[in-house]
A and B are shown apart, each in its own frame.
Chain A
Amino acid sequence: MSTRSIVPFGPQHPVLPEPIHLDLVLEDEKVVEAVPSIGFVHRGLEQLVEKRDFQTYVYVAERICGICSFMHGMSYCEAVEKIMDIELPARAKYLRTIWCEMSRIHSHLLWLGLLADAFGFESLFMQSWRIRETILDMFEESTGGRIIFSVNKIGGQRRDMENSMLRGFLTKLDQVEEQVKSITEAFLNDHAVNTRLRGVGILTKEQAYGLGAVGPFMRASGIEFDMRMRGYDAYKDLDFRPVTSTECDSYARCKVRIGEIFQAIDLIRQAVDKIPEGDIAVPVKGFPNGEAFVRVEQPRGEALYYVCGGGKKFLERFRVRTPTFANLPGLLQTLKGCQLADVPILILTIDPCISCTER
């Protein structure tokens, strides 16, 4: 008869960039159940709307997470713009789309590096992060920041990208594309990597849907769904189809994210090709009075923003449902039946962002 034991995993662990704790119930080396607890870095940012006026709060929203910072700021702005019935200039929508896709590339490259590090492939980890530096350089050139960008505001953007800069970005993206192709070979075809990822952490299509999974984690289970299909910002003008895989395992999650890097490069090329001239912001008058739900596709998946204002300087409520929070039940499912040694890899395959989750 096997022996049952409980192994505490985290909150501090070499594979976890941020703290999360799991109580793993084991039968010998096999996980039979995992119970999560979070809240080690809960900051209460949602409640800060009571102390920061709705314009200033854009900077707080950006600081929910250091990876999706652009999209958090942008989505907050879009929710307020929806309440105030503000129509953005077309150029601002394209700028937002380009920065969103740059965020996706750097987020996925960061994740690939962390994954390589987790299975002990150090040179692949360094290669992934080296390529990511080019994207961060592009952010620095276009926004002045590498982590926090502060280019979003209610009613548009604070900065424009000159057409010469955009053309330069395309040249850099050509190089990035070639470099990503070279690491793709290792991620998808290397025998050692395959051994760690293939058949590990199966989440079927039905389970992914039923457990409310989102983003690449869900699309790797064969569900063709992406909030960008709703056509917000400039996505309605771009040729786009979600990247999916039907293998439903950790390998599929890696494959989908790599596919999304190439797709993001393609979307930026299309956006640069179609971006119109014109203003990048419209003037904003008054205070938000009403409520709005906005959903966007962050690198980690669907995020939902709720904003409610009572016609005053300070909002009544701001709420974010982040992708990692939605993916936790799916993660617990993938952990059931896995070996203890696979737990770090499986936690990584949802691309967890605890800062987002605990905001």
Chain B
Amino acid sequence: MTDGEIREIELEALPAEALKLKNSGYRLIQMCVNRRIGQDFQLTYSFGIGLDCVHLRMLVHPEDEVMSISSIYEPAFLYENEMQDLFGIHISMISLDYHGNLYRLDKKTPYRPSEEKES
């Protein structure tokens, strides 16, 4: 029930899958945290070619580190900083890392339950 195919992948496979899509001519549409499944965050990265799109989906434990794809898709740095700012997802190797300061917010990681927030 969605626009485009959803491909479930392992977190470790993300850079390789993103590179494959890049080499096939896909552009980056968006990256976001969808929801929580138990303790884990569900992430969806969407890529498009022509009018079609593909969504890569993976589960991330709050303590896991996600490898940035900003070296593959340049605009990814904005989405990755957004996920970092709003949900506190740990993303490494972002080409331009704002360290939680892309959004100038009063509260850190506002979309993450307060009991989970790191000090």
Residue of A nearest to B47 (CB): A212
Of B3, B50, B74, B78, which contacts A293 at CB under 8 A? B3
Q: Is the CB of B46 within 8 A of A293?
A: yes
Q: Is the CB of B111 within 8 A of A292?
A: no
Distance in angstroms from A298 CB to nearest chain B CB is 14
Q: Is the CB of A304 within 8 A of B111?
A: no
Distance in angstroms from B3 CB to nearest chain A CB is 4
Q: Is the CB of B75 within 8 A of A293?
A: no
Query: For the complex, is A230 an interface residue (Cβ under 8 Å from B)?
Result: yes
Query: For the complex, is A321 an interface residue (Cβ under 8 Å from B)?
Result: yes
Given A42-B103, A292-B1, A316-B35, A328 and B29 contact (CB-CB distance below 8 Å): no
Among B9-17, B61-69, B94-102, the one that faces the other chain is B94-102
Q: Is the CB of A304 within 8 A of B35?
A: no
Q: What band does the interface of chain A fall in when counting residues whose beta carbon is under 8 Å from B? A: 35 or more
Of B30, B74, B110, which contacts A304 at CB under 8 A? B30
Point out the residues of chain A lying under 8 angstroms from B29, CB to CB.
212, 295, 302, 304, 321, 326
Point out the residues of chain B lying under 8 angstroms from A272, CB to CB.
none
A148 to B78, CA, bound (A): 29
Point out the residues of chain B lying under 8 angstroms from A205, CB to CB.
none
A229 to B51, CA, bound (A): 8
Query: For the complex, is A291 an interface residue (Cβ under 8 Å from B)?
Result: yes
**Residue of A210, A225, A230, A293 ringed by the most chain B CB atoms within 10 A:** A293
* Proximity string of chain B (22-42) to chain A, C-beta cutoff 8 Å, 1 when within and 0 when not: 000001111010110000000
Point out the residues of chain A lying under 8 angstroms from B35, CB to CB.
308, 316-317
Point out the residues of chain A lying under 8 angstroms from B27, CB to CB.
209-210, 212
Residue of A nearest to B29 (CB): A304
Residue of B nearest to A303 (CB): B30
Query: For the complex, is A325 an interface residue (Cβ under 8 Å from B)?
Result: yes
Distance in angstroms from B58 CB to nearest chain A CB is 15
Query: For the complex, is A37 an interface residue (Cβ under 8 Å from B)?
Result: yes
Of B3, B75, B77, which contacts A326 at CB under 8 A? B75
A210 to B26, CA, bound (A): 9
Residue of B nearest to A11 (CB): B104
Q: Is the CB of A319 within 8 A of B34?
A: yes
Given A292-B1, A294-B3, A316-B35, A325 and B102 contact (CB-CB distance below 8 Å): no
Point out the residues of chain B lying under 8 angstroms from A44, CB to CB.
110-111
A35 to B50, CA, bound (A): 30
Point out the residues of chain A lying under 8 angstroms from B53, CB to CB.
293, 295
Point out the residues of chain A lying under 8 angstroms from B4, CB to CB.
293
Q: Is the CB of A291 within 8 A of B1?
A: yes
A46-B111, A293-B55 known; 11 new pairs, CB 8 Å cut-off, are A39-B102, A47-B110, A82-B2, A211-B75, A291-B1, A293-B2, A302-B29, A308-B34, A321-B29, A321-B32, A325-B78
The 10 closest A-B pairs by CB, nearest first: A39-B103, A321-B30, A329-B75, A39-B104, A212-B75, A293-B3, A317-B35, A293-B2, A212-B28, A290-B1
